[in-house]
Structure formats: structure tokens, C-alpha cells
Amino acid sequence: MNTLFNQPLTVVNAGLSSFADNLALAGGDVTDLRWQPPALGDVDAGLALATLIRHPLVEHANDQAFQQYLAAQPVLVDVMSAAHAISAMAHRKLILHAGPPIEWADMCGPVKGAIIGAILFEGWATTHEAAERLAADGAIDFEPCHHYQAVGPMAGIISPSMPLWVIENKTNGRRAFSNFNEGLGKVLRFGANNHEVLERLHWMSQELAPALKAALNVLGEVELKPLMAQALHMGDEVHNRNAAATGLLIKRLIPALLSAGLPIERIQRVTEFIVGNDHFFLNLSMAACKAMTDAAHNVPFSSMITVMARNGVNFGIRMSGTGDRWFQAPANPVEGLFFPGYGVEDAAADLGDSAITETAGVGGFAMASSPAIVKFVGGTPADATSNSRRMQAITLGGNPAFTLPALNFAPTAAGIDARKVVDRGILPIINTGIAHKEAGVGQIGAGITTAPMPGFIEAIRALAEYV
């Protein structure tokens, strides 16, 4: 012992940082290990977690779920109306929304505004006041997009007459759906519902969607994983930056549109709309990611997360081994860059189904491939790379289909393991747009957020009951 204290000491401090500070002030060589108990110090949850670590049933289930995710081959196969694609919408006044379930009275401003717009678009009411009364009186059914294998950005609203992208996983034949991207500005997904918004929605339904369907009839099926992989090598992360992916899609679509026998004026309007919207591919990316994570869902005993979604109030997750059960917690705030004149006090809580991209290992998990994204969401290119590296600590493995040039073409981290999230205290990172809390104002910024820990703790408790 005397020999030990007669030589230079290097101290590792685990716990309160003030202990490390005192040692440093005294001239000591100290490394401050930022550690906290798992499960936010919840003893019962920590014990539940301990039963799941290295459990043979869970390990085998996670391997199966992850392999099914990797094997998924999402392909764009069709365009059709929501009522045609989703049978439950054919004979009901049903509107789908982003995130976990929520009642009308509890919805945030942008979601309420978007629902009013959808009611007017469907012709179920002729005034904003009448549409709001229908929604408040229970005349309209509201359910999450995820309950019908669908996803939508921000408010995520899908009503029966809206056109949908139809994505099929060629490995298992299951389909996923997403609505069309309207572009930026005053748009439905941010809660806008004025005449301009409704006119655009009608044009998308009556002219854009049929033209794209005709183009697909000429083009045939479009494999999306290779297109997304190429976009990652061109500076996208296929969530908040889709400039390259949209460009690659346009290269496929324009020759097909020209060969589809459509009037040249119509082709011009359609191509101008797509070319003017760098986010056009986002909804396809989301549906492809939904198809991939759905392939891993409902594997008994698996702790792999297959859904992360937000409704502007709560953040919800679903875990493969616990079926269609939601685990919810209040959504975390978004830290980012605001447009001039706006600040955090103006922002709605985290919103949208687009976190399905992070669930599938792209988006925020692939920020290393998209250093330019930091000009949109804040931070530095080094932060973007650090985010991608840190997600490797909470995932089951990497997806070799999606590689990151900045990390020596390492595969993106994928397969969020709820056990690792709770054990290591590292939250899944998400980059996202920021909506104004009032309907119709629109996007006011973009930034970085994380999934809240309490939902993962609840999921671990539930899984421990199964094992």
C-alpha cells in the first residue's frame, strides 16, 4: 500500500462530478466517468433489466428479428388512394395521424389544424367551424398511421381520398404506405388548412398521383434500398436531407413520365413540383424504413425497437417482443436552429412518424454521411459523426446495405436494443423539423432531439414479464 501511494496516481471518478473537480483542483490526474445507475435509478426496473441481459431467449429472438430486418427488400410498387390501399378507410370517416394514439381534446395545434384541413378536403364539412365540431363530437375516428402499416411526416395526416405510396417488402410480401410530400411553406403536415393548401391537395390527388402511377406502369418496380444507399454516399441521411435521393428518383421518373403518353403540359407541372421539393423522397424513405422495421416486428421475446413515433404531445415506441403495445412518455424538446423571429417558446413538442428512419438506422443514426445537415439542424460536422458513432452502443449490429463514407464505410448502426438504451443511458438521437405550436404557421426551425428514457424503461418491465 505504501508503495502504491508513493507513485503518481491516476484516479477514475464514477458518480458526482464534484468529486472529480475537487481532485483536479488539488492537482490530481483524474478522469471523470459520467456514470449513472441504469433505468434512471429505478431499482425494480434495474432488476427487470438484469433478467434480460444475456438471456438466451432474448438473444435468440433479437438475432431473428435483426436478420429479418436486414433481409427486407422494400420496393415501390404502386400509387393508390388510401381508401383503396387500407380497407378500413373505405367505408369509415377515419383519419390517420402521426405518433401513438391520442384523443382530439389532447392533440396539439398542428395536428388539429391538419385534421380540420383533411375534413374539408374530404368534403365532410364546408367550413372550419363545422369541421372542428365534427372532430370534437366524435363523428370522425382517429387512429395512428402505424396501426395500418402507414407513416406520415409531422402531423402525418392520411384521409381516405389522399394518394399513398405503396411499398412492398419482397421478402415477406407485406406492404407499407405513406402519403405524398407537399413541399415546404404552408402545408397540411404543419397544420395549415387554407384554400391554397386544399387546392394543392386536390391537385396532388387528381393530377400528380395518376401521373406517377402511369410512370410506375412504364418504369416497373423501384428498389429503394439501393437508391437510399447511393444517396447516403452523396450527402443525404434520408430524413431531413433528401436532395440526392430526390434527384436519383427524378432520374428514374422523368423518362417514364415522357413514355407514359401524358400531355406535355401535365408532365411539365408534375416535374416542376417534384424538382422544386428536395424533400419529395422523404415519404418514400419513411415507408421503406417502415417496411424494414415491420419485418422485425412480433418476434416473441425480442427487445428490438420497431417503431418510434411522436404526436406532438407524447413519444411512443413499440418493441418487437411485446407486439402492438405502445410505451409512451412526454416528448423531449427539440434543440436546434430557429428561423428568424421564432424561438423555443413558439415550438410544438416533437412531432411526426419520420423517426421511423432512425428506427431503421438512417436519419440521425446516419448523420456522419451528411455533414451539411448541421447547417439545418445545428451543431458541427464532428457532432454529426459523433452521433453516428454513439448509436453503435445501443444497437444490435450494423446494416451493410447502408454505409457511411466518413466512417471508413462502416455500416450504419441499426436495431435499437431497449436493454442497451436502459442499461447504458444513451438515448436514440433523432434529427427533425420543428413545427409552430399553433396550426398553420408552419415549420419554424429544425434540430436534434432524443427519445425519452421512461418509455424504454416501461418496455423493459413489460418484456421481463414475458421471459
What DSSP string describes 120-152? HHHTS-SSHHHHHHHHHTT-SEEEEGGGGTEE-
The pLDDT of 349-358, averaged and rounded, is 96
The pLDDT of 332-344, averaged and rounded, is 88
Q: First vs last Cα of the chain: how many Å apart?
A: 47
Contact between residue 121 and residue 198 where contact means Cβ atoms under 8 Å apart: yes
Contact between residue 200 and residue 208 where contact means Cβ atoms under 8 Å apart: no
Which pLDDT belongs to residue 9? 72
Which pLDDT belongs to residue 336? 85
For residue 305, the Cα-to-chain-centroid distance in whole angstroms is 12
The backbone torsions φ and ψ at residue 369, rounded to the nearest 5 degrees and listed phi first, read -80, -10
- In tens, the pLDDT along 310-323 reads 999 999 999 999 99
Return the SS3 of 234: coil
Which pLDDT belongs to residue 25? 82
CATH code for residues 43-62+296-466? 3.90.1700.10
β-bridge mates for residue 403, sequence order: 411
Highest mean pLDDT among 18-27, 288-297, 371-380: 288-297
Which pLDDT belongs to residue 33? 76
Q: How many helices (H) and strands (E) does the chain have?
A: 18, 18
Residue 411 reports pLDDT greater than 90:
yes
Strand pairing class (314-319; 327-330): antiparallel
Q: Is the Cα dihedral 240, 244, 249, 255 positive or negative?
A: positive
Lowest mean pLDDT among 36-50, 399-413, 419-433: 36-50
Residue 22 reports pLDDT greater than 90:
no
Which pLDDT belongs to residue 95? 98
What is the rounded (10 degree) CA torsion for 437, 442, 446, 451? 50
Secondary structure element (H or E) that encloses residue 400, with its range: strand 395-404
Residue 20 pLDDT grade (very low, low, confident, very high; cuts 50, 70, 90): confident
Which pLDDT belongs to residue 293? 98
Lowest mean pLDDT among 7-11, 207-211, 233-237: 7-11
Residue 206 pLDDT grade (very low, low, confident, very high; cuts 50, 70, 90): very high
The pLDDT of 96-122, averaged and rounded, is 97
User: Phi/psi class of residue 152: alpha, beta or left (left: φ > 0; alpha: ψ in -120 to 50)?
Assistant: beta
Q: How far apart, in whole angstroms, are the C-alpha atoms of residue 119 and residue 362? A: 33
For residue 301, the Cα-to-chain-centroid distance in whole angstroms is 24
- In tens, the pLDDT along 361-402 reads 999 999 999 988 888 788 888 988 999 999 999 999 999 999
Residue 5 pLDDT grade (very low, low, confident, very high; cuts 50, 70, 90): low
The pLDDT of 27-48, averaged and rounded, is 84
Residue 4 reports pLDDT greater than 70:
no
* Alpha carbon separation from 56 to 196, 302, 323, 397, 412 (Å, rounded): 57, 11, 19, 17, 26
Which pLDDT belongs to residue 260? 96
Which pLDDT belongs to residue 303? 98
User: Could you tell me which residue, 57 or 377, shows the higher pLDDT?
Assistant: 57
The pLDDT of 396-425, averaged and rounded, is 97
Which pLDDT belongs to residue 129? 97
CATH 1.10.10.10 corresponds to the domain 74-286? no
% residues pLDDT > 90 (the chain): 80
Q: What's the pTM value of the predicted model, to 2 decimals? A: 0.93
Which pLDDT belongs to residue 296? 98
The pLDDT of 328-342, averaged and rounded, is 90
Considering the chain, what is the average pLDDT of its residues? 94
Residue 34 reports pLDDT greater than 80:
no
Domain locations in the chain? 2-35, 43-62+296-466, 74-286
- In tens, the pLDDT along 127-169 reads 999 999 999 999 999 999 999 999 999 999 999 999 999 999 9
Which pLDDT belongs to residue 422? 98
Residue 1 pLDDT grade (very low, low, confident, very high; cuts 50, 70, 90): low
